[in-house]
Amino acid sequence: MRAGKMRHRVKLQKREAIHGRLGEVYYEFRDLAEVWAEVRAVSAKEYIQMGVENVEIDIRVYIRYRPDIERGDRVVYKSTNNPGDAFLIKAVLPNARMNMLELLCAGGGYRDQSE
């Protein structure tokens, strides 16, 4: 991937389990890093190829390889017409050379509460 395509800034957030006083477990997201990325919406053609009934992927995010990203973490993406939606990472796919990650993400209805 050429560096010119990675023109979007995204925030990576790590999901952490928090144990309450009564033993309950809930999850919070903490900021991990802000990185350059390529963000692509999933096209209608891709939806049809995947089977519309069970598609949960809304965007694909391409970043440089990081070993600390896993399924269940989040990507926060802000653009001119988007105040900062948080997308849940559904799959982390490294390329063959292990220098890039493709993050398949769903959601976008979650607002980033960290600012």
Condensed to tens digits (0 to 9), the pLDDT of residues 91-106 reads 999 999 999 999 999 9
- How many domains is the chain partitioned into structurally? 1
Condensed to tens digits (0 to 9), the pLDDT of residues 42-64 reads 765 555 565 555 557 788 999 99
Residue 83 buriedness (CB in 10 A; 0-12 / 13-18 / 19+): exposed
0.85 exceeded by pTM:
no
Range of the domain at 86: 3-111
Give yes or no for a contact between 94 and 104, defined as CB atoms under 8 angstroms apart.
no
Dihedral sign computed on CA atoms, order 25, 26, 30, 35: positive
Dihedral sign computed on CA atoms, order 49, 78, 1, 104: negative
Beta pairing partners, 34: 11
Does residue 12 have a pLDDT over 90? yes
User: Which CATH number covers residue 35?
Assistant: 2.40.10.270
Task: Tell me if residue 110 falls in helix, strand or coil.
Answer: strand
